[in-house]
Structure 1
Amino acid sequence: MDERRRLAKEVELAATPDQVWQAIATPEGMSLWFVPHEHSGAEIEADFGGGNTQAGQVLEREPGRRVVYGAPGPDGEAPTEIEFLVEGRESGSPDRPASTVLRLVQSGFFDGDDWAAEYDGFGKGWDVFLHNLAEYFRHFAGLPVTNVVATGFTDLPGEAVWAELTALLGAEPALGERVRLTPTGLEPVAGVVDLRERLLLGIRTEHGFYRFLVDDLHHMVSTTQYFYGVAVDRASRTAAWQAWIDRLTRR
């Protein structure tokens, strides 16, 4: 395999190694910052919204330190593998608490003319999710999560979909800006912009995160939402946002 197809990420987290281990080694923990995860027999199933799920298994596990997840590749190819490695870091100063470094390595990218775009897309996606994890420990540590995920697909160009999405949200704010989004037919979203890139908008609210993304490569538009420590009707809220996404992708 070309060494460039081994994607590596690292993030320092304001948490103990045990807290980080729980966040990457259990379905409940993965749901805190990634997408909803549940046990499905011997497998763990991830829900990416709109009926799109992916199942995988734990291939290797060193409790408290390392876990490797994997899913079979197409036509007998090598599996896609995602390795998480947890490493505690001692404080170098009485004024600075100890932290934990989380390392992630993904391998098994499929061959094809667009593998480089796939590689870059996964890299940007992990940047978002690892940012979620860091922000969770910074603002909501210890609180349980309710996830809302909605996904749709469209043949329209990404920029056109993004323009329509931000119009329906009622704003296209800059990073760090305080904003009140008014998504058509849904309750307002008030908070601060903590993620902002091309075709990506993230809002941190009093109780969690809202993420909006248009994926040009997969012709996909999605919202991933996290509500911490508050009562949320996941089913009805998911249905409402899925209907919102569906209206957007049918335009």
Structure 2
Amino acid sequence: MSAEFEIAVEREFPATPEQVWQAVTAETSAWLFPSEDMTGEELVFERPTHHVNRMEGPDGWFNQLEQIIEPRPNGRSFMRWQHSGVFPGDPAEGDDQEDGIRQHTVFYLHTLAEYLEHFTGRPVVFADIPGPESSMAPDSFEVLRAALGVAADAPVGAAASAAMAGLDGAIVDYNTANFIGLRTDAALYRFFGRNAFGGPVGMTVHHFAGAAAETLAATYQEWLTGLYAA
């Protein structure tokens, strides 16, 4: 029997409702992943305040995203992001999966805020780089953390010391037990400790300075794979 979930996250953004709407509906490569990865039926499209997209599959499977956007003073906005659906895999693991989805959602919406504050409207190139199977070990995210030069207690605004292409001058914009965000003048680098949720460590790059997607993917795939080489 499938188990359903419903997660709601609320936060304020440094942008107008129209800018938030544009980012959520058309500029997802800049903070989440390309919109073609979220194809489904748009149930509500009330620009710029209410959007609902739903995907359905066999045996009652569905995945639904809803955004309710409200204006706030000084050109800011408030959004309620609601994600509901059916857990993949074993329903008995639902609590752990819900926690993982919630942590990812909070990180994604933080990345949205970073995009809106620092890069809004700029063309973006997106790369998604999965770690190898060996990065599923319990200590794998700590290996990555050491390579990035980001201590567990590093505050937002701290400098990273990663010896990695593109990360010169990177600062920490997010740092929790399972997620790290780094920002440079050209890009947002996101690191995911999915080994805590039964998967491999991974990273994404949202690049705003004209890099080639193939080059980004190849460069960082080699780096991340080499990090976990036996």
Report the TM-score, using the length of structure 1 for normalisation.
0.79
- The answer to whether the 8 A contact 2:160-2:172 is kept is yes
Tell me if 1:179 matches 2:157: no
Query: In structure 2, what is the Cα distance between the partners aligned to 1:163 and 1:8?
Result: 29
Q: CA deviation at 1:190?
A: 2.4
Secondary structure (helix, strand or coil) at the match of 2:71 reads strand
Paired residue total: 223
Change (3 A) 1:136 1:201: same
Structure 2 residue runs without a partner (length 5+): none
Tell me if 1:18 matches 2:21: no
Percent identical pairs in the alignment equals 26
Q: CA deviation at 1:70?
A: 2.3
Please list every run of at least 4 consecutive aligned residues from structure 1 whose deviation after the TM superposition is greater than 4 angstroms. Answer: 155-158
Query: In structure 2, what is the Cα distance between the partners aligned to 1:23 and 1:210?
Result: 18
Q: How does 1:23-62 map to 2 (within 5 A)?
A: 23-26=23-26, 29-37=27-35, 45-46=36-37, 55-62=38-45
Tell me if 1:63 matches 2:9: no
Change (3 A) 1:159 1:190: farther
User: Which of the two has greater helix per residue?
Assistant: 2
Structure 1 residue runs without a partner (length 5+): 38-44, 47-54, 92-96
Query: In structure 2, what is the Cα distance between the partners aligned to 1:201 and 1:165?
Result: 10
Q: CA deviation at 1:221?
A: 1.1
User: Which of the two has greater strand per residue?
Assistant: 1
2:70 to 79, 82, 87: 87
1:209 to 158, 181, 188: 188
- The answer to whether the 8 A contact 1:14-1:100 is kept is yes
RMSD over aligned CA atoms reads 2.5
Report the TM-score, using the length of structure 2 for normalisation.
0.85
Secondary structure (helix, strand or coil) at the match of 2:198 reads coil
- The answer to whether the 8 A contact 1:158-1:219 is kept is no
Q: CA deviation at 1:188?
A: 4.1
Secondary structure (helix, strand or coil) at the match of 1:211 reads strand
Match of 1:50 in 2: none
Deviations 1:53-93 (A, max 9, x none): xx5313313231222222335x412411111122223x2xx
